[in-house]
Amino acid sequence: MNSMIAHLMYLTSGRDLRQAMQILNPQKLSEMMLMPEGHGSTVASFYNNLENKGLQERSQSRIYYMRNSNNWIKSYIISHCLELIRDRQVDDYPIIVLDLGCGKGGDLRKWQKGNIRHLVCADIAETSLQQCKERYETTRNIRFSAEFIVADCTKTRLKNKMKAAEKKLDLVSCQFAFHYSFESLPQAETMLQNISENLKRGGYFCTTIPNANEIMSRLMKNGGKSFGNEVYRIEFPEDRPDNPPLFGDQYNFFLEGVVDCPEFLVHPKTLEKLAEKWNLELVWCKSFATLYNDALKSSDAQRLLSVMYALETYPSRNLVTETDGEYSHAQQYLSNKEGAKAARTLSKSEWEAMSLYQAYVFRKT
């Protein structure tokens, strides 16, 4: 039997459905043990100690263009959700946002451009959050108020820490961080509770996470317990069981100079069932490759693609890599495009790493 088909059968097996039904049964939750200590401190320590590099140094990174492309896609997703909210509201509607896993505040300018009224920033890493606060305080012409909460959002109820807990949110954004909550069922429940109980009806939750099906497909194709290229690597434990758990299915993820942490697979059907329990209805789920094509249909997104330096020019004397084959797709494009002398692209390794991800948008019912 084809290994990918076998994996898909596993994801929709009776075992998976039984666990999904347990998730929907509140009685089961009351019977569960207290949350384990887990890897939260490891993740917090890594991001607390991650050097805050300047623009000049970041521009020399092997994954400079990939990071900019990821940022560009985040801009598209956030803009899309803000448009959905404003489509149902009057002009100058005061949008309130929760940024879960805000890190150093990389999305502050997106909230500025989105003309929101108030932002709640929450992150497990105290140093990162302090840098986010300093970034907010030193950014010119900020027009929204903000509050900053240090908390493990997979274990702490944020409603008790928010300054205006009675005010419901319009949007919750969790970019490249939600998958840490799938270390255990109680942690995933707490994360979704933090999202759902603070969102108003009709509000949205958007998140970007690694695609579990894509990860398993590449793992099976490569054989063994690991795979990757010159910018990223994913390694599963040697003792990973043949039938791994739906929660706590750990792997180690390394991304050049950015991530070196334990992460957890998020099985799509399990996430959708769990979100449904917390009154979060799936609007759409799309791979980054699909989102790239969607965004290119927007003239504003096309303009941002250049402004944010999301693609590099090929050929160039300053390519991010000289490895053979990294630009074969660009070479092929130019050979087939009469008169074309240059192309804007990502290296093959960057695209492979980037296309591991997918985005979800949910709506509170």
Cβ proximity of 62 and 320 under 8 Å: yes
Residue 40's SS3 state is: helix
Whole-angstrom CA distances from 332 to 146, 295, 311 are: 48, 24, 17
Antiparallel, parallel or unpaired: β 199-210 and 226-228: unpaired
Q: Establish whether 251 is an annotated binding residue.
A: no
Cα three-residue angle 302-210-236, rounded to 5 degrees: 145
Is 123 marked as binding a ligand? yes
Residues in the chain: 365
Pairing status of strand 280-287 against strand 250-255: unpaired
d(CA 91, CA 80): 17
221 is in an annotated binding site: no
Q: Cβ(204)–Cβ(172) under 8 Å?
A: yes
Q: How far apart are CA 15 and CA 20, in angstroms?
A: 9
Q: Are 278 and 195 in contact, with CB atoms under 8 Å apart?
A: yes
CB neighbours (10 Å) of residue 18? 10
**According to the annotation, is 203 in a ligand binding site?**
no
In order, the DSSP letters of 45-90 are HHHHTS----HHHHTTSTTHHHHHHHHHHHHHHHHHHHHHHHTTS-
Find out whether the peptide bond into 315 is cis, omega within 30 degrees of 0.
yes
Asked if residue 213 belongs to a known ligand binding site, the reply is no
Residue 65, annotated as binding a ligand: no
> Is 91 annotated as belonging to a binding site?
no
Euclidean distance between CA atoms 179 and 166, whole angstroms: 28
Q: CB-hemisphere CA count at 13 Å for 268?
A: 23
Cβ neighbours around 39 below 10 Å, total: 17
Number of CB atoms found within 10 A of residue 171's CB = 24
- Alpha carbon distances (Å) from 84 to 40, 149, 236, 268, 287: 33, 27, 39, 23, 20
How far apart, in whole angstroms, are the C-alpha atoms of residue 361 and residue 153?
Answer: 19
Tell me if residue 207 falls in helix, strand or coil: strand
Binding residues for S-adenosyl-L-methionine: 74, 101, 123, 152, 175, 180
Binding residues: 70-71, 74, 101, 123, 152, 175, 180
Binding residues for mRNA: 70-71
